[in-house]
Chain A
Amino acid sequence: MAIPNTQINHLLDREYAAGFVTDIDTDRVPPGLNEDAIRLISAKKQEPQFLLDWRLKAYRHWQTMPLPQWSSVHYPPIDYNAISYYSSPKSRKHAPASLEEIDPKLLETYAKLGIPLEEQELLAGVAVDAVFDSVSVATTYKNKLAEHGIIFCSFSEAVRDHPDLIQQYLGSVVPPTDNFYASLNSAVFSDGSFVFVPKGVRCPMELSTYFRINAANTGQFERTLIIAEEGSYVSYLEGCTAPMRDENQLHAAVVELVALKDAQIRYSTVQNWYPGDAQGRGGIYNFVTKRGACRGDNAHISWTQVETGSAITWKYPSVILEGDNAIGEFYSVALTNNFQQADTGTKMIHIGKNTRSTIISKGISARQGRNAYRGLVKVLKGADGARNYTQCDSLLIGDRCGAHTFPYIEVKNPTARVEHEASTSRIGEDQLFYCRSRGLSAEDAVTLIVNGFCKQVFNELPMEFAVEAQKLLGVNLEGAVG
């Protein structure tokens, strides 16, 4: 039976809840991309020479690269000279020693987003490294983590305090010449997060970073590097949201994960950047390169992502399974509403023997939303006994949206086993009526059904994050979860 589109469309009409702008003076580099701008960024951050050289090399390579044309997303050409590549809150000049010293306007902003730092510190036991525009403004629990030898700090601090680790690992998973946006990021990245977990240490708490884009016309280019030494464990959470803007904003981040022998890294993302308005104006271009390397035997990397925001999401968190018995996982929920586009998936590169990978992708499209899963499973010659299981499910809401699946499978070892399952379904009017006849509002019914669809992925998120993800999905689809 036909879906009552007028009703569903009504449900999809809702304001972007995080659409507000913090009025705060920022220290900005004038728009424009050239070697001088890069030197200025590097100088402002008092970086060592090797890093400046690294940036310049990336920039020179980037200039030779053509724009990537292969994905299914569409957007007008970006004028890279119209973007300002560095922006930090002024109060950074006197870095705060505690939360009390932080600009109250910033704290207010986070409070509106429902992440009061003080409360998180006290109640949730979560260490928060809040990135406001380009500079980290607050790092909590650092001392407690230091007792375990864990380093959790902004990328800038890591460059200053641990240049040897940076030099050793930076670009070792995503080289500065990797792809168009990764090269751009390598040239101009401003800040980000750095995590180092030493041998045999199990990180006692979830590490969490909230990214937030604030200043207009400011591209944000974070760089995150996580290193888990032999036998260590860390779970890292990344949450994002941005205020309403009419212009499109470019976000080109790079995340590199390195898991050594027997180490495990869980990386979870909830991304809720401004998706643009109902007419498709504005919104974030989220062009991100995320990759992890399982560098030793039994290493284990999981990516879990809930992508509800951004005008365009274009990312493929991947795992290179180098060590024997290494495990790579990718769990994804991508929601596209109105004119949002998502082209997302993963790459699992099996190199070691008996390596295993699991891919669970859930795409939800509503209104004119376009959702594509694009994934590569590659089994190299030496990967005896490699196994992959892939499941791609698409849920359609309304009759004007689209879902596409592009699985690429390359197997060069005859002992490998690769499975791929895919399904496409529609939210049924009968499901809605069933829930409503039990007293649930239409909004709650849609949220319930969509959350059910995403359950396999939410199960992979840390508890408090799963609750937040469910809420976000509700907010992005209609009202709150019942």
Chain B
Amino acid sequence: MNAMLTIKDLHVSVDGKAILNGIDLTINAGEVHAIMGPNGSGKSTFSQVLAGREQFEVTHGSIHYADQDLLTLPPEDRARAGIFLAFQYPVEIPGVSNIYLLRTALNTIRKQRGETELDAMDFLTLVKERAALMRMDEDLLYRSVNTGFSGGEKKRNEILQLLLLEPRLAILDETDSGLDIDALQVVANGINSLRDNSRAFLLVTHYQRLLDYIKPDFVHVLTAGRLVKSGGPELALELEQRGYGWLEEATAGATP
């Protein structure tokens, strides 16, 4: 059986500056992977490259999603194929109601899956149910997308989208940052409710504390654009105690 995501020797530059310097990673259905690393190590670049951001130039390597060459697909086709990125900084779109974007997104993706589009009433029932799960004020559904939302509300809104779109591969870019413990728990519950054998998650985070709520199968450490160490959940605990310094030094020594 093919892996869900196969990344081979991925090099990425932004404005001519190398950010990722050869990443290899394989993710299978049912797995939860965590990518941890210090600021500036390339974590956000990595998640956005997977979602198809065009400013980031892939200079070398390959990404396959099942049998598809992901690098040939624009962002919308990746989304329709079941890839979802929860943004570290969700974007404000003034004048566009949140519920309208949610419904447009869901129906676009349902159409791709060969499912019927949901009418306004069915959609409303569904979105209210999922919003309740995220303990989101219904008012947020009718406001402009992320406009005037608090940091926590923006993050919940990202996970609400995740719950509606039910992607096969969910990439969560620092979803935990800026959340208090209660909100973190709500967000984690939302994510956990989707975990099953057919889905995979890639959690990108600074901190171990998210991993207390969402137990990863694999933890990888990203420093200076490379995955320098991989392990089980215990690696996250070790990082929490020792920081990233020892890994950065070890890698620096190993680089010719």
Contacts and interface: CB of A to CB of B under 8 A. Distances in A.
A451 B96 CA distance: 7
Interface in B75-91: 75-76, 78-80, 84-85, 87, 90-91
Contacts of B78: 437
B78 to A, nearest CB: 8
B112 interface: yes
B96 A437 contact: no
A433 B161 CA distance: 15
A430 interface: yes
Contacts of A452: 93-96, 144-145
A434 interface: yes
A74 interface: no
A71 interface: no
A439 B93 contact: no
Contacts of A451: 95-96
Given A429-B55, A448-B101, A482-B108, A437 B79 contact: yes
B95 A441 contact: no
B141 interface: no
A448 B104 contact: yes
A6 to B, nearest CB: 10
Contact of A438 (B48, B53, B144, B161): B161
A435 B93 contact: yes
Nearest to A436: B75
A454 interface: yes
B32 to A, nearest CB: 21
Contacts of B74: 436, 442
A448 B105 contact: no
Contact of B91 (A4, A430, A440, A441): A430
Interface of B: 48, 51-55, 74-76, 78-80, 84-85, 87, 90-96, 101, 104-105, 108-109, 112, 144-145, 161, 165
27 contacts: A4-B54, A4-B55, A429-B55, A431-B92, A435-B93, A436-B74, A436-B76, A437-B51, A437-B75, A437-B76, A437-B79, A437-B85, A437-B87, A438-B101, A438-B105, A438-B165, A439-B105, A439-B109, A440-B104, A448-B96, A448-B101, A449-B93, A449-B96, A452-B145, A454-B95, A455-B95, A455-B96
Interface of A: 1-2, 4, 7, 428-431, 433-442, 444, 448-449, 451-456, 482
